[in-house]
Structure 1
């Protein structure tokens, strides 16, 4: 074995860096001078190294797939635990609901309970904004065979819309809950306290006149109250929203800006408004 002396090895190490730099510059100049030759060289090198790339790529893909499967297993395990907990909670609610249903049926039998007749309703199409003496109203197309009465309650698929205030031969006008002439007695579903929902001509009516000590809670559901026999109780209206200025407003369930069809309910005598129950219209635009 030939051993190089220390000075010779040092000389070769000093020369290796300049030689590599010269080779690199030579390769760059060759690529600039003959691009076709450089491209062929790159292609030949890529073809030569392709088996090595493929050999290394397969284990890398296998490792990556294994890692993804392990991550999926952990996610499925957490999801399974969550679903088990939710299923157990739903079972408890189901047991409570069945118990309450049985108790309710027993009490009804003991009281000789007579169920109320389901309210009849008719469907009418919204054709235009009502206008007229009201700022927030819609006009309905009513066929001659449809019996529409003043005071009927209008609902969409989400909740309370308003009430019928005018009836013609082929049309009817519905005063919306947002009109400033609208006064709706409501119940706070959480505390069962009574209040009054007052229209403002804006998107959200105001909530007023609730009992002292029963301040409406943010997000509390609002339903109609049967006080004054103008409305049936329990119709969904919306939820409480407090403004930055400290005003309680009602975010309505009904989409009053997208009314296409409404249902007019006949709740019996309680749903017919006497003439004096409709507030006298005020000039549009006044607050």
Structure 2
């Protein structure tokens, strides 16, 4: 029997033993982690820990590579789904901005072309010292057979019938009717059009005339005068209507009929109304822009020579 008054020693419970063991293990792991971290920081990429870490990374590389390879398509698919489900309002806004930029670009190109054409007119005006008024063609020829155009200037701008009209590349015609704010221009391709002209190189003088077919002929060029394909034809200033030296066109064919007094010369105009938008109306001529006495004498001599040749041919025939 146990002695009276004595107490039996108590055994530690199983639960308390486990808690004590777990606590000690946790403390040991924490201390070990701190120690390993400290050693790793001091040794850097050298030492046994670095070798262990490198070996672990090498051993696990195939698994990590396989995982990344499998996940890559799903990441791309996620991007596609995100793009497909983008905010429709944002897409609509981007389309609108694109349309606005495209329209602005077209407008800028048109402004540049207009500036280039206007600069051409200014260059022509300055080079020839023209007294002129700028106008815009508001009603052009509907086809190659049309022979008149309408411009947006009239008597209120000081224009009158008979004034010459030129584009930057060359003469296009002459005013034949004037209203207060518009005028009708007869083109040089009209069969009733006639402009005093001369071959720039040889100074051979004639008349630039339109035809029913729309072709332009340089008439009254006497046989034997120097005219060749490619020669430039300009206004001669005779008659006091067109200033001297304005470009008209280029010779495209020269034919000489046996026994004929004059050559058949075809000219391609430099300016076409269907491709022109802005023009200059020449309002007056200076003395320098009119034909000189020498020009008039040369034209008279050319006409006299043609008449003499005709008389000789008639006498020979008789």
| TM-score scaled by length of structure 2 | 0.44
Larger Rg over CA atoms: 2
Q: Which has the higher contact order (CA 8 A, sep 6+)?
A: 1
Q: TM-score under structure 1 normalisation?
A: 0.48
